[in-house]
Every structure is written in structure tokens, then in C-alpha cells.
Amino acid sequence: MEFMRITSAANPSIKLAKNLAQHPRAARKEGLSLAEGIHLARELLLHSELVRKVFLREGAEKNFEISEILQRYLSLKIPVVQLSSQIYSSISPVDTSAGIICEIRIPEDGNIKKDEDWIYLDGVQDPGNVGTILRSALASGVTNIALSQQCAYVWSPKVLRSAMGAHFFCNIISSVELEEIKEKTGAACLVADARGGKDLYEEKWGKDHTLW
């Protein structure tokens, strides 16, 4: 396989990727983010219209899974850029990386849908928690996610990694007020509290749709 190669940390593509990795606000501003790891790279093959380029750490192509993924990206005419370990580490959003990062275009916000279940995140600032909730929501069959402006940015690299691909199966709306979601969905609003109460997987919450 033949790859493009960037050898300078001053290259505009590297400077942009480094900014995206280090500053969550940059993802929102640029409309771009970084999806790190084999799982996300494979998942994004089903959403290849979002992928702008693939960054590859030198030597990572020897991994069979990564090699297989790279062949498919190259067949889709998506650029694969090979980097030295030092430059790759400077753009990686995690300390220990498998050696593959996809630079993606962030999709537009989804739509507020009636007659469906929703989850609303209010001020959840830890990226790992936001990603875990997305992943758990999808596993529970809830695919509508709305977030307040005070949450960690849902499309930041760390949230993407934590959610493990859940983003691409969910209807996501960022930076929206709870009152707007309540009014437009018409769902019964319930609050989840970690300090106790009833098991939400075992309780029957009525016939109407729910906004958690």
C-alpha cells in the first residue's frame, strides 16, 4: 500500500489535527473532529462520507486489522497520511493509540422527534461520561439524545472514543434547552438520580414516551 507522508509538524493538516485533539472548542468551531482507534475507523467505513482523511502512525499498517481497514479507505479514494511516531503522538487525543485516526466532518444536528423516547444531558461535563451515556442509551434502544450547552461537546474526540460508535446510530442535538425539548417532544419528563430510587430497567413508567 502507498500512503501520503507528512514529515513536518508545521504542516497545516497537522496543526489543525493537533488543535482538534487538544481543544474541544476547536471541534465545534471547525466542524471537524478526530475519531481514534480501530473500532471507530471500522465503524466509519459505513459512514465514509464523513471521513476527510486517515492519519496512520508509521508501522501501524503491519497490524492485520488496520491493514484491512486501510485498503478499504484507499479503495474509497480517501487519503491516508502516514506520520512518524512523534508527529502522530502530537495529534492523538489519547496517550496510548492503536495507530489510526480518522479526521471527520461533524454532521449537522438532528431533529426533535415526537412520539419517541429521549435522553437529555444537563451539564454533564466529563467527556467519558457523555460517551458512556450515549453507548448505554443506544444499547437500551433510546437513540434520541439532546444536550445542554454546559455539557462536554458531544462530537469532541474524547466523547467519540468513549461512545465507541454510538454517535453514528443516534439522533443527536447539541446545545438545546430542556424546555424546548419538553415542549416539542411532548414526552413525560423524568429525572435520573444516582443516589437511589427505582431501577429504570425494571419499572414500568406508563404508556407515554419518556424524556429522561
In Å, what is the CA distance from 101 to each residue of 40, 56, 98, 170? 9, 7, 9, 21
* pTM beyond cutoff 0.85: yes
Do the Cβ atoms of 134 and 9 come closer than 8 Å? no
Domains and their CATH numbers in the chain: 4-105 (3.30.1330.30), 119-211 (3.40.1280.10)
Sorted by sequence, the CB contacts under 8 Å of residue 210 that are 6+ apart come out as 117, 118, 187, 188, 189, 190
pLDDT at 164 over 90: yes
Rounded mean pLDDT of the chain?
94
pLDDT at 4 over 80: yes
Do the Cβ atoms of 104 and 44 come closer than 8 Å? yes
